[in-house]
């Protein structure tokens, strides 16, 4: 018995000294948009560079459409979901979810148009390609067209919703639509197809895109997993911010970029666009924007106040985790327009 105790103590010390990746891994399922999304790059980096594994997480992606991912998150078939706007609507309608960690901190969408379109006003009466209602590749295009150019969906232009960006770009090149809201990551494909970029949404608005959320029940049962997930995501942000060569293979793999040159261009344009932190004003914008669409859809009354979004965010846990790992917040330029 006396010999057994030192052996057990030594085993415990050895286990504590071992990296998380060498110990038992906790399985987690992370939502991923079909064909990838430029707003979700930190989650791809965390996967491919081994940061989930380093934190003791046996992570895998489940690739679905945005609406299907929301359903998977609400039903417990996926653990972490990068669809903040759809999550906000669910929360406002009573779903018990909590936001965990950020990804994109600025609007990264571009409005690509056919060669004969020279200014936003030329798009009156034309057909736009957006994502589904409630997704970032719908909301942010509609917001910029409304705020900056006084053009509303349905009234001033028509919209066709697409499941993925490759389908939008193909429709634009084929002449089926006149404009498409695409991410920076997919801009090379549009430009190589003879299209041109008319508007950068980041020149007009900043938005918290790809913010991860999970069911409150899952968070309550797995607080340590949530903390490790935050750490892995923060490592993904930092790696992408500082390491071009290591990020290029990730961009090519998950966003379908054809070559290193185009991937390098995407990295240059987006490297300082991500942050694990969630500035209060950007987080609140997720809910305020969602409420406007819900009012239009008669799912929210115009005189009903927007509840404090902070009740849906693990603010204390997020900030404490980032501080403990000496994470450095991203410095963003404010929109000029």
Q: What is the 3-state secondary structure (H, E, C) of 223-275?
A: HHHHHHHHHHHHHHHHHHHHCHHHHHHHHHHHHCCCCHHHHHHHHHHHCCCEC
Distance from the first to the final alpha carbon of the chain? 74
Higher confidence at residue 130 or residue 2? Answer: 130
Residue 123 shares a structural domain with residue 187: yes
Residues 132 and 260 in one domain: no
Structure tokens that stand for 325 in this block: 């790992």
**Domain end call among 171, 203, 235:** 203
Contact between residue 136 and residue 70 where contact means Cβ atoms under 8 Å apart? no
Listed residues 160, 177, 203: the one ending a domain: 203
**CATH number for position 265:** 3.40.190.10
Tell me, yes or no, whether 197 lies in a domain: yes
Give phi and psi for 110, each to the nearest 5: -125, 145
Same domain (yes/no): 188, 318: no
CB proximity list for 192: less than 8 A, separation 6 or greater:
none
The residue segments making up the domain with residue 121 are 109-203
200-219: average pLDDT: 91
DSSP per-residue codes, 39-85: GGHHHHHHHHTTHHHHTTEEEEEEEE-HHHHHHHHHHTS-SBB--HH
CA proximity to 73, closest of 129, 33, 106, 19: 33
Query: Which carries the bigger pLDDT value, residue 270 or residue 226?
Result: 226
Does 17 fall in a domain? Answer: no
Collapsed DSSP state (helix, strand, coil) of residue 7? helix
Q: Is residue 74 domain-shared with residue 219, that is, in the same domain?
A: yes
pLDDT at 186: 82
For 152-165, write each residue's pLDDT tens digit: 999 999 999 998 88
Is residue 15 a part of any domain in this protein?
no
Same domain, 219 and 314: yes
The confidence score (pLDDT) of residue 41 equals 96
pLDDT recorded at residue 202: 84
**Could you give the CA distance from residue 210 to residue 39 in angstroms, rounded to a whole number?**
6
Regarding whether 121 and 86 lie in a shared domain, the answer is: no
Angle between helix 260-270 and helix 244-255 axes, rounded to 10 deg: 110
Q: Are residues 83 and 148 in the same domain?
A: no
Query: Is 333 a member of any domain?
Result: no
Q: Do residue 198 and residue 320 come from a single domain?
A: no
Contact by Cβ (8 Å): 30, 63: no
CA distance 99 to 59: 19
Same domain, yes or no, for 27 and 148? Answer: no
Render pLDDT for 245-302 as a digit per residue (tens, 0 to 9): 999 999 999 998 889 999 998 998 889 999 999 999 999 989 998 898 889 889 999 9
Backbone angles phi, psi at 209, to 5 degrees: -100, 150
Band (pLDDT 50/70/90 cuts) for residue 11 is very low
Average pLDDT, the chain: 90
Same-domain pairing of 234 and 291:
yes
């Amino acid at each position: 018995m006396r010999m057994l105790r030192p052996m057990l103590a030594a085993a415990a010390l050895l286990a504590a000294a071992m990296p998380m990746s060498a110990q038992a891994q906790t399985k987690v399922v992370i939502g991923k948009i079909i064909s990838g999304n430029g707003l979700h790059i930190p989650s791809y980096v965390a996967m491919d560079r081994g940061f989930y594994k380093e934190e003791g997480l046996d992570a895998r992606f489940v690739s679905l459409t945005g609406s299907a991912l929301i359903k998977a998150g609400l039903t417990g078939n996926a653990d972490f979901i990068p669809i903040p706007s759809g999550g906000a609507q669910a929360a406002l309608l009573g779903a018990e979810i909590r936001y965990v960690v950020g990804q994109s901190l600025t609007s990264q969408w571009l409005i690509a148009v056919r060669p004969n379109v020279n200014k936003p006003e030329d798009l009156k009466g034309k057909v736009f390609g957006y994502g589904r209602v409630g997704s970032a590749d719908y909301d942010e295009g509609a917001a910029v067209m409304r705020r900056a150019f006084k053009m509303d969906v349905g009234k001033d232009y028509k919209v066709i919703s697409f499941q993925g960006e490759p389908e939008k770009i193909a429709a634009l090149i084929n002449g089926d639509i006149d404009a498409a809201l695409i991410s920076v990551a997919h801009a090379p494909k549009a430009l190589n197809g003879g299209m041109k970029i008319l508007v950068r949404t980041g020149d007009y608005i900043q938005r918290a895109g790809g913010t991860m959320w999970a069911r409150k029940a899952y968070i309550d049962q797995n607080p340590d997993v949530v903390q490790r997930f935050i750490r892995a995501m923060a490592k993904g942000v930092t790696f992408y911010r500082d390491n071009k060569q290591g990020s290029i293979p990730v961009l090519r793999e998950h966003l379908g970029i054809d070559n290193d040159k185009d991937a390098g261009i995407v990295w240059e344009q987006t490297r300082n666009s991500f942050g694990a932190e969630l500035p209060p004003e950007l987080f609140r914008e997720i809910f305020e924007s969602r409420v406007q669409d819900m009012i239009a859809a008669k799912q929210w009354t115009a005189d009903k106040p927007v509840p404090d979004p902070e009740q849906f965010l693990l603010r204390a846990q997020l900030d404490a985790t980032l501080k403990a790992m000496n994470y450095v917040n991203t410095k963003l330029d404010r929109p000029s327009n």
